[in-house]
Amino acid sequence: MARNKYDVDEELGTPFSWEYCKRLLNYVVPYKKEMITTLIVMLISSVSTLLGPYLVKISMDTNIPNKDVRGLIVVCIVFFITIVVSALCMRYRIRTMNYVGQEVVKNIRSDIFNHLQKLPFSYYDSRPHGKILVRVVNYVNALSDLLSNGLINLLTDLFSILVIIGFMVFISPKLTMVCMIGMPILAIIVALLVKVQRRNSQIYSNKQSNLNAYIQESISGMKVTQAFAREKVNAEKFKTVSNENRRTWINAVKYQLLLWPAIENTSVFTVSLVYLIGVRSIGESITIGTLIAFVGYIWRFWNPIVNISNFYNALIMAMAYLERIFETLDEPVTIANLPDAYDIPEVKGSVEFRNVVFKYEDEDREVLRNVSFEIKPGETIALVGPTGAGKTTIINLLSRFYDVTSGEVLVDAHNIRNVTLDSLRKQMGVMLQDTFIFSGTILENIKYGKLDATDEEIIRAAKAVKAHDFIINLKDGYNTEVNERGSRLSVGQRQLISFARALLADPKILILDEATSSIDTKTEQALQEGLNKLLEGRTSFVIAHRLSTIKNATRIMVINDGQIVEQGSHDELIDVKGEYYELFTAQYEIVRAV
């Protein structure tokens, strides 16, 4: 659970592997036609550009000494054509590779998002949502330039180096050998920098993730921050996290920038040697045109080396992001359909727990201990007990948001681990304690429970839970736009909308987790009338701390310390004078005192 903090770095669960690069290339394969075409176009551009120094050599050594104006004009026209060809090729590359890069980024992001929707609740319990969000947005965006230009530029630059070396050898093998002196020096520098660069990039990605997590947490809790006047304290925390992000970024960039001056100094050193040896050899085996052309090729030789070093730097940074991205994609989907899972038939509503034991990951304490009970179709079961007793865990296991540690959960005698998730959950209506309202209209939010529902069905469900009256009094009625999480609605209004959403699905099994906790007494009385009709013919599980709302339940189960300590009707449990009696009378006394 230590990951679930903004100030704790996420350590990678697996070491770096070049398999990540292979997996990234798998996203590029569908666009191999565009990649190959662009590569051919860029090779043509590279050859056109590299003809320049050789054309200068012809002009210096032949056309100008011989006063061949016609030949000089031809050389100028050819030179101009090479510039035009190079420009057209560059335009094609920019358009095509930006398209390919964005398509690949879109596909990677879609895969992450789709995978996140399949991950169990335990995954989200163990890390801040900001650290998840940074993978889907920031890290994937960081790959955009690498995919749009990096791969093609790398291949083009490698080709250019080979062509340049060919031209250099053709012009002067002697000066070519001098130029190659700097390569071993550069190779040693790169070897020394590679490990420290990767490590610093990983540290920076950690701090970037922490910063994103803190910002997300702060925005989500802004009302609490302002209510307790914590702005200055939070600003100091943000400053600390932000400074860590800045410091690690500087360290990462510092080592990246060491490569460029190393290449620059090496290139200047080799060019100086070429000038020194070339000038001394003029008139013997080297002409002025040859020396000028060769120096032109030297600078062109080092340009792709610089480009490759920039690609290398981008790749090192991208590796840190790729590790995080593929770590997320490799996160196991523990709540999934078994290979031989089948669709559960239309549910009648019987539910059975057989010796169910459950504990959360990385925890030794058992939340539920050998829980067993049988529910007949149409019964309304109320779960009561102190906070943390295991009430919500029971309905989470029934919905298969988590899997049992041991034991079995059966619906109509079907072990829910053997049936498909969709077929199970589509026959359940769930209203959790933490109601969530999506951005959009109220109509769309209720319709979320049944996407093909008509407006009449939506209004009927809203009327049943007594939400219709407050909805039609809003500015645009059912078409009123609400913000994410429904911040412009009261807590009670959000619960009513969430309740209508659950009921619209016409579920055979209805689960209500504190469904009326934030509804006033008058509204609750009206709501209870609608619920009594809707609960008929359904198996219902109701969690309620307000015990007056569950007096009519078929059976009340008292949960304490992960076990069912009492069960029976309201009157039966009152007569027993056990834990339920104590809870009920204590609550009754509090109400009388108020």
Tell me the pTM: 0.71
| DSSP helix/strand/coil, 508 | coil
The region, left, alpha or beta by phi > 0 then psi within -120 to 50, assigned to residue 349 is left
- Token pair in block for residue 566: 């009492």
- Any alpha helices (H) in 505-594, and if so which ranges? 521-534, 570-576, 579-593
Count of CB atoms situated within 10 Å of the CB of 47: 15
The pLDDT of residue 5? 65
- Strand locations in 446-534 (E): 481-482, 509-513
* Residue 38 and residue 92 in contact, taking contact as beta carbons nearer than 8 Å: yes
Residue 72 vs residues 69, 75, 81, 296: alpha-carbon distances, Å: 5, 5, 14, 19
Give a yes or no: residue 511 inside a domain: no
Which residue range is the domain that position 116 belongs to?
19-29+99-329
CATH of residue 269 = 1.20.1560.10
pLDDT at res. 357: 95
Strand partners, 559: 564
Asked whether residue 113 is domain-assigned, the answer is yes
pLDDT at site 423: 92
What percentage of the chain has pLDDT greater than the value 70? 88
Query: pLDDT tens for residues 480-533?
Result: 888 765 567 877 788 788 878 877 878 889 888 776 655 666 666 656 665 666
Cα–chain center distance at 344: 32
What CA–CA distance (Å, rounded) separates 46 from 85? 10
- Answer yes or no: are the C-beta atoms of 136 and 113 closer than 8 Å: yes
Count of beta carbons in the 10 Å neighbourhood of residue 456: 8
Q: Please indicate, yes or no, if residue 415 is contained in any of the structural domains.
A: no
Q: Which of 227-241, 322-336, 552-566 has the highest mean pLDDT?
A: 552-566
Amino acid symbol at 54:
Y
Residue 356 counted as domain residue: no
Tens of pLDDT along 555-588? Answer: 999 999 899 999 999 889 999 888 888 888 877 6
Distance, in Å, from the CA atom of 367 to the CA atom of 394, rounded to the nearest integer, reads: 10
| pLDDT digit string, tens, across residues 37-95 | 988 888 888 888 878 777 887 888 788 888 888 888 998 899 899 889 988 988 888 88
Quick one: pLDDT band at residue 414, thresholds 50, 70, 90? very high
Residue 351 belongs to some domain of the structure: no
Joined together, the tokens standing for residue 504 give 């619209």
* Cα 94 to the center of its chain, rounded Å: 27
Beta bridge pairs of residue 440 = 482
Is residue 56, in this structure, part of any structural domain at all?
no
Please give the share of the chain, as a percent, with pLDDT higher than 90.
Answer: 15
Round to whole Å and give the CA distance between 182 and 582: 87
Please count the structural domains in the chain: 1
Flag whether 158 is in a domain. yes
Is residue 238 in some structural domain?
yes
